A and B are shown apart, each in its own frame.
Chain A
Amino acid sequence: MRYIEQEKVVRRMNGRMVINRVFQGLFMFATALALLALVILLYRIVSQGAGHLSLDFLTNFASRFPDQAGIKAALVGSIWLMAVVAPTSILLGVGSAIYLEEYAKKGRITSFIQMNISNLAGVPSVVFGLLGLTIFVRALALGNSVLAAGFTMSLLILPVIIVAAQEAIRSVPGELRDASYGMGATKWQTIVRIILPAAIPGILTGSILALSRAIGETAPLIVVGIPVIIQFLPEGVMDTFTALPMQIYDWSSRPQAEFLTVAAAGIIVLMVVLLFMNSIAVFIRNKFDKSY
């Protein structure tokens, strides 16, 4: 007695192949749609803004006159911002990840913390802006400085870095830990000498992608009260500043049509910075990639 009749299988084969094809096409269409949106976006921005791009655009401060408007203050301001955000968020994020993965006892409290970190990653950035306004700008009286904005941004991307670092740490094979502990290494020695070196590609890739998000965020900066028009560069972390997305937001909301080209040029600069950061991430991943 056979359960599978060859005749029926053959009869149904055509139908199965059609369905197979249909879904393949559907998924290709979905991918193509996303790509198309990206291409249109890039084309529009580049065709609009390329004409305004010049060395002057990079070295001029903001101006009332569109043809003199430059992005210097915003570009330098964004670099200052990253100089605060990167060390703060990576140190705190990796520290938390190490604690959660290597030290914390697995239990209700840990899984509660874990759940909340994942939830925090989904909180809108405006809310983080309000948090930063309350704590850093007002309570700690840091004002609308690089430091206040940097700490706010660090909080915003901290959950993402923690989760990425945890995953990187978790992917280090348990056999390596066993080998280290088995020779009498302490937990700290094992973390520093075995786990972190093996996890660093994953940690850095995750961190840089999170930083890319921070460099493009506008909402928290608006809430924290970062000005748009600034005719000087910050000289320290306590000075005020402006950032690329703020400047772009301002230009795109001006009534004069010429400022739209300026905004487009600003977006090109922002995208180049983003692309640069992402390529660093790719480079690091490829350079340190080890197969176990």
Chain B
Amino acid sequence: MNTATIKTKIDTARPVTAEQADKESVYSTRQLNLWYGNNHALKNIDLEIGENEVTAIIGPSGCGKSTYLKTLNRMVELVPSVKTSGEIQYRGRNIFESSYGVEELRTRVGMVFQKPNPFPKSIYDNIAYGPRIHGIKNKKILDEIVEKSLRGAAIWDEVKDRLNENAYGISGGQQQRICIARTLAIEPDVILMDEPTSALDPISTLKIEELVQELKEQYSIIIVTHNMQQAARISDKTAFFLNGEVIEYDRTDTIFSNPADKRTEDYISGRFG
């Protein structure tokens, strides 16, 4: 594994075919505003996020990209003093509707966090956590879910003989793939990834990136990343956030080769951020 492999990755990931451009929207965000207390963190966001695509969100620190991601599954509400206005439609239904339970939403929309955060339990129990909280007790079914999820996250071969070992005993990159497997186990529709490789070494990063490419066949993926090369390598569409606003949102190859806005160009060419 070296830079050569990563480069070929860039080339194969780049082309966006025509039919990907007009896929059905999973998420439609309309006039979303969000405040932490008096801090206006997201301003009039309008975004359509497509099905079975990888959507990357890039931008400098504090631009609101993680906040936006956490709004999509309402994890942002765990912070007290958060206020929102506007709406986010997920599969045609406004997630801020009072009748929409956050638990239901989060069963459909899985999340992978910045720092690998397995539970201090065995690998098996980590993966089985989601199915269990949703009421699956049958050992045989759980076994199947665990294997399927671990295979889905491309880590089955590495851990199949140590399913009963504590998940803290494996490397950070493996832990992150366990966390992805744990998310797959709830059989989500969308996977949100909040800088999933920022705490990992280049080889683990590459594995996760390859995994994202495979996963998008079945899932819609929204990934926040600090790493612009990563966005270019793995995403179909890219949104550039700055100071809580969406500056530009387009197909990834357009954003990186021919950005419409001067600020986008400055950011991706490394002039700030």
Residues of A within 8 A of B (CB): 105-106, 173, 175-186, 189, 193-194, 197-198, 290-292
Q: Which of A105, A106, A189, A194 contacts B119 (CB 8 A)?
A: A194
Residue on A nearest B125 in the bound complex, by CB: A193
Q: How far is the CA of A179 from the CA of B106 in the complex (A)?
A: 11
Q: Is the CB of B80 within 8 A of A105?
A: yes
Contact call B80/A176, Cβ cutoff below 8 A: no
Known contacts A175-B115, A194-B119; is-contact A183 B130 (Cβ 8 Å): yes
Q: Known: A178-B75, A178-B78. Is A184-B117 also a contact (CB below 8 A)? A: no
Given contacts A105-B80, A106-B80, A183-B186, contact A291 B168 (CB under 8 A): yes
Interface residues of B (CB under 8 A from A): 73, 75, 78, 80, 102-107, 110-111, 113, 115, 117-120, 129-130, 133-134, 168, 179, 182-183, 186
List, sorted by A's number, 5 A–B pairs whose CB atoms are closer than 8 Å: A178-B111, A182-B110, A184-B134, A292-B120, A292-B168
Having A179-B118, A182-B110, one finds 15 other A-B pairs with CB under 8 Å, namely A178-B75, A178-B111, A179-B113, A181-B106, A182-B106, A183-B106, A183-B130, A184-B102, A184-B106, A184-B130, A185-B129, A186-B103, A193-B129, A193-B133, A291-B168
User: Main secondary structure on chain A at its contact with chain B?
Assistant: helix
Distance to closest chain A CB from B165 (angstroms): 14
Task: Note all chain B residues with C-beta closer than 8 A to A177.
Answer: 78
Cross-chain contact of A183 among B107, B118, B120, B168 (Cβ < 8 A)? B107
The 4 closest A-B pairs by CB, nearest first: A175-B117, A184-B107, A184-B106, A182-B111
Residues of the A chain whose Cβ atoms lie less than 8 Å from the Cβ of B104: 184
Of all chain A residues, the one with the shortest Cβ separation from B132 is A193
Q: Which residues of A contact B182 (CB under 8 A)?
A: 179, 183
Chain B residues with Cβ under 8 A from A184's Cβ?
Answer: 102-107, 130, 133-134, 186
B129, A180: Cβ atoms closer than 8 Å: yes
Query: In the complex, how many angstroms separate the beta carbon of B256 from the nearest chain A beta carbon?
Result: 30
Q: Is B80 within 8 A of A183, CB to CB? A: no
In the complex, what distance in Å separates the CA atom of A198 from the CA atom of B166? 14
For B117, give its contact among A173, A186, A193, A290 (CB under 8 Å): A173
Are B75 and A182 closer than 8 Å at their CB atoms? Answer: yes
Check if A179 sits within 8 Å of B120, measured CB to CB.
no
A185 to B80, CA, bound (A): 19
Which chain A residues border B102 with CB–CB below 8 Å?
184
Interface centre among A177, A184, A291 (most CB of B within 10 A): A184
What is the chain A residue whose CB lies nearest that of B183?
A183
- The distance in angstroms between the C-alpha atoms of A179 and B119, with both chains bound, is 8
Q: How many angstroms between the C-alpha atoms of A184 and B110 in the bound complex? A: 8
**Quick one: closest A residue to B121, CB to CB?**
A197
The answer on a CB contact under 8 Å between B78 and A181 is: yes
Report yes or no: A185 in contact with B103, Cβ–Cβ below 8 A. Answer: yes
In the assembled complex, the Cα of A240 lies from the Cα of B36 at a distance in Å of 58
Residues of A with C-beta under 8 A to B73: 182
A178 and B192 CA atoms in complex are apart in Å by: 13
For A181, give its contact among B75, B80, B168 (CB under 8 Å). B75
* Contact yes or no, A198 B120, CB < 8 A: yes
| CB nearest neighbor in A for B108 | A184
A126 to chain B, nearest CB (A): 40
A184-B186, A186-B103, A193-B133 in contact; A179/B80 too (CB < 8 A)? no
Q: Across the interface, do B110 and A183 meet the contact criterion of CB distance under 8 Å?
A: yes
Query: Which residues from B are CB-within-8-Å of A106?
Result: 80
Chain A CB within 10 Å — which of B73, B119, B168 has the most? Answer: B119
Residues of chain A within 8 A (CB-CB) of B115 are 175
Which residue of the partner chain B has the closest CB to A190?
B133
Q: Which residues on the A side are within 8 Å of B106 (C-beta)?
A: 181-184
Contact status B120-A290, CB under 8 Å = yes
Chain A residues contacting B134 (CB-CB under 8 Å) are 184
Cβ contacts under 8 Å, B75 to chain A: 178, 181-182
Please report the C-alpha to C-alpha distance between residue A84 and residue B90 in the assembled complex, in whole angstroms: 53
Bound complex: CA A177 to CA B75 (Å): 11
Q: Contacts of B110 on A, CB cut-off 8 Å?
A: 182-183
Of A189, A198, A292, the residue contacting B133 (CB under 8 A) is A189
Smallest Cβ-Cβ distance to A179: which chain B residue = B117
A185 touches B120 (CB 8 A): no
Which of chain B's residues have a CB closer than 8 A to the CB of A181? 75, 78, 106
Contacts of A178 in B (CB 8 A): 75, 78, 111, 113, 117
Q: How distant is the Cα of A180 from the Cα of B105 in the complex, in angstroms? A: 14
Q: How far is B106's CA from A184's CA once the two chains are assembled, in angstroms? A: 5
Q: How far is the CB of B186 from chain A (nearest CB, A)?
A: 5
Chain B positions within 8 Å of A173 at CB level: 117
* A175-B113 contact given A183-B182, A184-B134, A193-B129, CB 8 Å threshold: yes
Taken together as a complex, chains A and B put the C-alpha atoms of A292 and B120 apart, in Å, by 7
A94 CA to B106 CA, complexed, in Å: 29
Smallest CB gap from B134: residue in A: A184
**Nearest CB in chain A to that of B74: its residue:** A181
Name the distance in Å between B111's Cβ and chain A's nearest Cβ: 4
Q: Which residues of B contact A198 (CB under 8 A)?
A: 120
**Closest Cβ neighbor of B117 among chain A residues:** A175
Shortest CB distance A242–B (Å): 44
